[in-house]
Amino acid sequence: MFKSKKSVRTPWQAHLKRMVILLVIIALGLCALPNFYQNNTVLRISPLKAGDEIPSPDVIQQVLLQHQFNVATIRSNTDSASTEVMLIPQTASAAAQEVLSDALHANVTVKVAEQSTAPIWLQKLGLSPIKLGLDLNGGVLFVLKVDTDKALEKRMENIALEAQAFRVKEKLHGVRIERSTTNNVELIALPKGQDALRQLQAALLKQFPQLSAVTHQQGNLQRSTLSYNEEGKATFEKQTMIQALTTLRSRIEELGITEAVTQRQGANYIRIELPGVQDPTAAKRIIGATAQLSFHALQDVGGKAVKAEHGIVNLNPLAIFSGADIDSAQAGRDDYGKPLVQLHLTSQGGAKMLRFSRNNVGKPMATLYSEYVADSRGEIHENSTVISVATIQQVLGQRFSITNMGSWQKAEDLALLLRAGSLDAPLTIVTERTIGPSLGAQNINSGFKALALGLSLTLGFMLLWYRKLGVIACIALVANLVCLIGLMSLLPNVVLTLPGIAGLVLTIGMAVDTNVIIFERIKEERKQGSRMVTALQRGYQQAQSSIVDANLTTMITALVLMAIGYGPIKGFAITLALGIVTSMFCGVVVSAQLSHWFYRAPELANRTIENNSVKGVQHG
């Protein structure tokens, strides 16, 4: 007779499973530990260049005291060659940063930074607390509209300039370039210029592959209309949004804001959250800027008329090179102490500059500063100004300076914008909201009071209703909360918001729901006369399908909210989704192991004692 074999778990497999569960809880507990240590906001003063000296702590403290700032601590950090200052209150750091930048701008950079208060061994593990959202940490919210239509108009204008430059360079006769609409470039040829038109059209389509050309005859003229088709326009808008997101993130990093959230919202909007920023002026000035820098040769006749400091100058509309060719930029001062911007070009930009300056020594070159501004009716217009006209004294390469900046702040802002990259599309700030740190602290206090109250009531109910099983549920609940906080601290780009705290409370209810389903099945098995160990085994097995179904439907909802939600809604969805994972782990796996330890181990011990007693009686 053959008997069916049942899979039997060996003792070492059971021990291995318990060890893995214990290691997971310990690891996530370590990740959660930094949340007990609140970060400090400090001012970090660093040298402008490597090797430069920074003012002594006494000088820095004297400057701050003169402006009535209370200094809590000030110390030199030899590892980073910087000085760190903590104020009372810490929310005064933004105002103090501006004061120190004005007083010490010749030698140093001043940034607001977060300083960890966790033990050194915890910092060496690379662990950090959960990032707090805008509603908990205070800060500034911007929603910006990206004008992709203006960007497309500018692109078509540049294409027309490239076409004109190619026509002149190749000496193509009998063809002219016109702009019929903002989104079209027309090439018009006389009968003798049709070959030139085809040559020009082929060159432009090769250089700009997303363009499409439509050619038709109009009398004795042949017209070729160049424009973006629907697919090309969609690709251009997508690239414009990606470039805007990348540039804005770079600008925020240059401002020293490390916990910012920058994400696309809808088709043409970008949402920026700057937690911890209490002075929105500097952030708004840099983030909303659409400044572009380009360098042009001057023309005596024709060209593009642009206003300058001392009148109007005529520029060659085709730039020698633009901000895209700039690798880095730093604000500095010349021999007379006047502010300037030192530029370092890319290899491609350096080659353009070398080629132009070699043929134009002794001739002027203009620096054109362009930005988009809104008029009184809210319409966006490009405003261009020549900020510098300098004579090329020698052949230039990858390094040179822009002088005549007017003020140090202008030089510093321009250097920051050039480092972070210019924006091709105009930005309009459609929403601006500032949340104070006191309101954020109140939200944290209220949120965690609700969490503590919900947890206490839940634990009390489980202990009263299920007694010994309730103890297992309470331990699993605490482990669930620790695992969830640890997981949120471990994963990048997870931000805790006020609705996220609501998600934590909801997670507790979901985890308890898992235990309730299991425990009620166990009680039913006990009523039918099953032993406790058997009831536990059947209860966990029979309840699993219901638990998986319930959590799966909730997970689908959380994933939908994560996909389409923004800000607090997305924060709630992330907490909910992670909470489902940890509640499944702790409510089923951890509580099953605890049940085994609470019931099966004592029962096995009792059986062993009974068996030994029976053997002793038989032997006697």
Which residues form the domain of 393?
Answer: 289-433
Q: Which CATH number covers residue 371?
A: 3.30.1360.200
Give yes or no: residues 422 and 340 share one domain: yes
Contact 509, 516 (CB under 8 A): no
Last residue of a domain, one of 215, 233, 251: 233
Share of the chain above pLDDT 70, in %: 84
Contact 420, 247 (CB under 8 A): yes
| Helix ranges, 316-394 (H) | 347-359
pLDDT over 50 (residue 7): no
Q: Does a structural domain hold residue 169?
A: yes
Q: Does a structural domain hold residue 616?
A: no
Give yes or no: residues 596 and 448 share one domain: yes
Q: What does the pLDDT read at residue 376?
A: 57
Last residue of a domain, one of 382, 414, 433: 433
pLDDT over 70 (residue 359): yes
Least confident window among 61-70, 140-149, 264-273, 593-602 = 593-602
Give yes or no: residues 369 and 304 share one domain: yes
Give yes or no: residues 351 and 460 share one domain: no
Band of residue 209 on the pLDDT scale cut at 50, 70, 90: confident
Q: Which CATH number covers residue 545?
A: 1.20.1640.10
* H or E segment to which residue 531 belongs: none
Give yes or no: residues 564 and 454 share one domain: yes
Q: What does the pLDDT read at residue 427?
A: 80
Q: Does a structural domain hold residue 500?
A: yes
* Distance separating alpha carbons of residues 134 and 262, to the nearest angstrom: 12
Q: Does a structural domain hold residue 58?
A: yes
Contact 510, 552 (CB under 8 A): no
Q: Does a structural domain hold residue 134?
A: no
Rounded alpha-carbon distances, angstroms, from residue 52 to 49, 137, 336: 6, 35, 19
pLDDT over 50 (residue 79): yes
- Over residues 387-444, the pLDDT tens digits come to 778 788 777 777 877 776 767 777 777 777 677 666 677 788 888 887 766 666 777 7
Band of residue 306 on the pLDDT scale cut at 50, 70, 90: confident
Q: Does a structural domain hold residue 6?
A: no
- Over residues 533-578, the pLDDT tens digits come to 788 778 788 777 888 888 888 889 888 888 877 667 877 888 889 9
* Distance separating alpha carbons of residues 229 and 41, to the nearest angstrom: 51
DSSP character string of 391-455: E--S---SEEEE---SSHHHHHHHHHHHHH---SS-EEEEEEEEE-HHHHHHHHHHHHHHHHHHH
Band of residue 605 on the pLDDT scale cut at 50, 70, 90: very low
Q: Does a structural domain hold residue 603?
A: yes
Residue owning tokens 């924006």: 423
Q: Which CATH number covers residue 173?
A: 3.30.70
Give yes or no: residues 217 and 296 share one domain: no
* Distance separating alpha carbons of residues 551 and 561, to the nearest angstrom: 15
Last residue of a domain, one of 433, 450, 475: 433
Contact 501, 44 (CB under 8 A): no
Predicted TM-score (pTM) of the model is: 0.63
CB contact burial 71-100 (16+ within 10 A = b; e otherwise): beebeeeeeeebbbbbbeebbbbbebbebb
- Over residues 22-65, the pLDDT tens digits come to 898 899 889 888 888 877 878 888 886 666 777 888 888 888 88
Give yes or no: residues 66 and 201 share one domain: no
Q: Does a structural domain hold residue 395?
A: yes
Contact 133, 444 (CB under 8 A): no
* Distance separating alpha carbons of residues 425 and 184, to the nearest angstrom: 18
Query: Phi and psi (nearest 5°) for 382?
Result: -85, 130
Q: Name the domain count of the chain.
A: 4
Tokens of 155: 């692109």
* Distance separating alpha carbons of residues 583 and 97, to the nearest angstrom: 45
**How many Cβ atoms from other residues are within 10 Å of residue 610's Cβ?**
10
Give yes or no: residues 440 and 426 share one domain: no
Give yes or no: residues 423 and 441 share one domain: no
